[in-house]
Each structure stands twice: as structure tokens, then as C-alpha cells.
Structure 1
Amino acid sequence: MHDLLAYCESCEDWPASAAYAARLAAAFDGHVTGIHACPVPSLMSSPYDTPDLMADLLNVTRQLEEDAVASGPSFEAFARACGATRVAWQVAEEEVPRALNLAGSWHDALVVGRTLQTPWGSASAVGGMVLGAGLPCIVVPEGHVGESLPDGMAIAWNGSLEAIRATHAVLPLLRRARRVTILDGGQPLSASLDDWKPPFGLAGYLARHGIHSETMFLSKPGDSVGTLLLHAAKQAGADMLVMGAYGHTRFSEWVLGGATRDVLERIDMPVFMRH
């Protein structure tokens, strides 16, 4: 957790997720980079038919990019006020998913906000970022003001590769938590692990890393999976939920699986996700 990337949809009002990222970077004596995307309009949209329109679009985009670059000192001051000492600001001339995927290549985790008022804060948009970023993601609910280092953590466990990857990626936070609870849903292993014998033992894996854990067995949900997981995490005294992120198919980075969609729609605590 020494290099965190914080997505900022706006350059005027810094989101709760950016503050969360800055505080987490401070806790690990790490670095936080704020990133904003300003995609350039495509010249493939009949520029010969509407040259004036394209010129206007490019001028507007250029001004937005200049304004975003000028917001760098404001972000740096904001992050330092949250405790971070190593801060950077980046403006990308790319669509949001690709910008995060590229910048994520040299970061340990992406921190994004789940909001109700902004296009890139919706459950589907955030889910697309999580599935396409290529690195662990921390999704922070709108208005979150709690500590960035969780005191209690709950791991949604179903034996899948995604859940294993999420647990491995979140080890630095698990080591600092005072209580770790495995939320065992009892689901069968994913097809990709059917031939792996014996099954991966999560409690034993955590113990080898010096992390004591307790297990809470979950019954089949009568309501949504997301409601069940978030409720169980609260019952366990957790202030962060850890889970794998799933898409309906390997070839789709935008169509969310049921558990991922449910949690993002009902999120009320930070959620650490790994695809």
C-alpha cells in the first residue's frame, strides 16, 4: 500500500475517497497520486461535416484540461491536510477506464468513490473500473469519514480465485487489523480450481502470515447477496469488507456478477475488491 491511485471525477470538490486514499498513504508512509481524466473528442465523428463543431469541442476540452492541470496544487494541499506527505497530481488525456488501467500499472491499489450524483460514481461505472483496472480497488461510499486503517475486517469467502487474489492483495491491511472474520458462504469452488486438491485453506493461509481469524458461516440469503455480506460484516464488527469482484463472463469488463453488483449498489462501508 505504498503507491495509491485516487480517482477524482471533479477537480473542484475533492471526494471522500480521495481523503481516504491520502489518509491510507499516510498510515503506510506511502505515496498518493490523484488522477483526473480529460478524454479528447474523437476525430472520427465526421469532422468534415462539422469542422466548426469539432474545433469548439477541442477548444472546450483544452480549457477543461488546463483547468484540471491547474488544480494540482489544490489537490496536493488537500491530501497533505489529510496527512499524506508524498503527493502527486496527474491529468490523463484518456477515457476513464483506460486512464486508470494505464496508471494502475505502477500503483498498488486504486481508490474510487461510490456516489449517487455523478456519472462515474454509479454502481455500474465503479464496477467497470474495478473489473478493468487490473489492480486491487478500494471502493469508498459517499460521505465516508471513518479511519482509513480498518480496525475490523471481514473477508467474503467462496473459494474462488478472485477471493484468493483479494485476500492476498489486502494482507498489508489485514496485518494491522485487530479482528479478521471469514464470512464463509459455503459455495463450491470455481471451475478453474476444481482440479486443485486439497482445497485452498484460507484460515491456515492467514495464520501463516501471522493473522488470527475467526469464521462466520453464512446461510443461503433470502435477500440479495450484497445485503447479506454487508450485514454479516457489520455483525462481525468489521469496518471493511474484502471480496473478489466478478463479471458474468471473462470477456466482459462491464457486465457485473450478482454479488459484485449487489454490494456496490448497497455499499455502506469501504470495500476492498480484486478481480
Structure 2
Amino acid sequence: MKNILLLVHDDAGQEARLQTALDITRALEGHLSCIDVAVVPLVAADINGGAEQAMLLEEERDRERANRATLEARLNREAVSWDWTDVIGGMAQAMVDASSLADIIILNRQLEESSFLDMREITSRVVMKSRAPVAAVPEDQTHFGTDRALVAWDGSESCAATLRACVPLLKLASDVRIFTATEKSNQLSPAAAAQYLSRHGIRAEIDLVERGSRNADDLIAEAAASAQADYVLMGAYGRGRLRETFGGVTKRLLSSSKLPLILGH
């Protein structure tokens, strides 16, 4: 896990994304790739033959040029390896297109006040279409810690794939907990996940709870708070009949989680 892909855009979540990306890049001694997206504005019924959209796009590009100048000066002081690419287009597709050789993608879980960017939807699309895990951080995140990790385990293929992809990050933790709600399942057990991690030199504790009628996202949030976790790692969405169940959990956590989520599909 050496290639960290960062969404750059002048919005309320940018500082949280940038700080998270810098923290992860330093922790893993990796390389930071910045994708600065100038978003094409949507203009309804432009009677001027596209002139209004062209004007708004040029204003957006001007903002991102100024944003690049500011952030490049900062990156030059941060002592990390980095590169920069400017893109014009849709935010989700731009990140997916850039992610072929990315090991982890840095986005926000949601922007609370933005009427222009639906970051939850953008992040959901990237998670669904990219093979790399996505770190979705709250917009007020000031530091990404690596010492305590909570794995929200459901035994799914997406959860197992995310776990495998994030072994280098989990190796940095002194406390890894595999949390699962007890219910009958023919999928991979939490013990199998713990055994897999042990072969990579990672010792993980297993926490089992009775789910009952409670929402999985509430249980995950409580377990993360109890463990004082720095982040939650989990599979996102699902396949077939499972998609509605796991999709609801993912969307609710993207809306409400106080911690960074590392999501994979």
C-alpha cells in the first residue's frame, strides 16, 4: 500500500482529505497522487447555446488553478513524494479513472452543508466502481490515526477483500479488533479473518455481540467508540439480495459516522 490517491477540490472537505492523505502517506512511506477535479457545472435549459455553462466552467477552473497554487506550495513543505493531475469532468468518474494503480483513495463520507456536491453519492459510486479501498473521512477530520483499528466483519467477499488490501495499514496498529454480530451465516467467520491476519504478524481480538433487532450501523458505531478506534474498516454494499441490507448500513454510516471509514467492494 504505497500509492495514495487524493481528491483535490476547493470545498469544505478538502482540508480533512488532505490531512488524512498526508498522514497515511507518511505512515506507509508512500507516494501521494493528487487529482484536482474541475467539476463541469449542470445548467438547465441554457438558452445561450452553452455560453452560461462555459462561463461557469471557466470560473470553476480559475478556482482550481488558485487552489493548486496554494496546495502545491504547501506540499513542497510537507516532505512527501507527490504528483499532480488536473482533470475536468465528473468527480466520481474522474477518481475511478485515476484509480487503476491506486492502493487507497481518500474522499469524504459526506459534506454537511454542500448543496453543490453530494459527497456521499460520489463516494458510494467510487466504492462501487473502483477496486481500491476508499477512506471516507468526516469533513472536520484533523488527523488520521493508525494505532487502533476496528474491522466490522460480516464475512462477505467485499469485507475480506478490503481486509486483504489494508494489511499494510493494519500492521501499523497496536490494537486491532474484529467486531461482528452473531447470526447464522455460511460466510467466512471472524476467526478465519483473525487467523489470516496472524499470518501477517497482526494480532487481532474478536468481539462478538448479539445483534437482536438493532441496526448494524448502530452496533458498529458503539463498538468503535468503546474500542476508541481511529477508523472502521468494512466491506461496502453487497451482491444480489445482500445489496439492500449492506447498502443501507453503508449509506447510514456515510451519513453519520464520527470516524473515518475504510470501505471496499
TM-score band (shorter)?
A: 0.7 to 0.9
CA distance in 2 between counterparts of 1:78 and 1:187 reads 49
CA contact (8 A) 1:158 1:188 kept: no
The separation in 2 between residues aligned to 1:60 and 1:37, in whole angstroms, is 14
CA separation of 1:104/1:187 partners in 2, compared to 1, >3 Å: closer, same or farther? farther
Instruction: Work out which of the residue numbers 155, 163, 167 in structure 2 matches 1:167.
Output: 163
Instruction: Describe the superposition over 1:143-174 as per-residue Cα deviations: whole angstroms up to 9, x where unpaired.
Output: 1123x242111111111101101100110111
In 2, Cα distance between equivalents of 1:233 and 1:14? 25
The 3-state SS of whatever aligns with 1:145 is coil
Q: Output aligned runs, 1:4-15, within 5 Å.
A: 4-10=4-10, 14-15=14-15
In the alignment, what sits opposite 1:38?
38
Deviation at 1:140, TM superposition (A): 0.8
AA paired with 2:120? A
2-structure distance, mates of 1:200, 1:217: 11
CA distance in 2, matches of 1:225, 1:271: 15
In structure 2, stretches of 5+ residues that fail to align are none
Does 1:203 find its partner at 2:201? no
The equivalences for 1:218-233 within 5 A come to 218-220=209-211, 222-233=213-224
Distance of 1:95 and 1:140 partners within structure 2: 20
Shift of 1:35: 2.1
Q: Give the structure-1-normalised TM-score.
A: 0.82
Equivalent of 2:179 in 183, 196, 215 = 183
SS of 1:90's equivalent?
A: strand
Assess, with a 3 A threshold, how the Cα gap between structure 1 residues 121 and 145 changes in structure 2: closer, same or farther. farther
Contact 2:160–2:235 (CA under 8 A) maintained in structure 1: yes
Contact 2:136 2:261 in 1 (8 A): yes
Once the 2 structures are TM-superposed, how far is the Cα of residue 33 of structure 1 from its aligned partner? Answer: 2.3
Q: Distance in 1 between matches of 2:212 and 2:15?
A: 33
Contact 1:9–1:120 (CA<8 Å) still a contact in 2? no
C-alpha deviation, 1:272, in angstroms: 0.8
Q: 1:105-254 counterparts in 2 under 5 A?
A: 105-114=100-109, 115-118=111-114, 119-120=116-117, 122-146=119-143, 148-189=144-185, 201-220=192-211, 222-247=213-238, 249=240
1:18 is displaced (CA, Å) by 1.4
Distance in 1 of aligned mates of 2:64 and 2:120: 25
Equivalent position amino acid for 1:186 in 2: T
Distance 1:84 1:185, change over 3 A: farther
Count of aligned residue pairs for this structure pair: 262
* Structure 1 residue runs of 4 or more that deviate by more than 4 Å after TM superposition: 39-43, 187-190, 247-250
- Aligned-pair Cα RMSD in Å: 3.1
Identity within the alignment, %: 25
Shift of 1:218: 1.9
- Report the equivalent of 1:267: 257
TM-score, normalised to structure 2, is 0.85
- Look up the equivalent residue of 2:104 and give its one-letter code: A
Q: Deviations over 1:227-270 (max 9, x none)?
A: 210211221232111100005759x9x99712211211221111
2:256 pairs with 1:258? no
Amino acid at match of 2:89: E
* SS state at 1:257 partner: helix
Structure 1 unaligned spans of 5+ = none
> How far apart are the structure 1 equivalents of 2:28 and 2:259?
21
Letter in 2 for 1:172: P
Give the match's secondary structure for 1:93: strand
Aligned residue for 1:19? Answer: 19
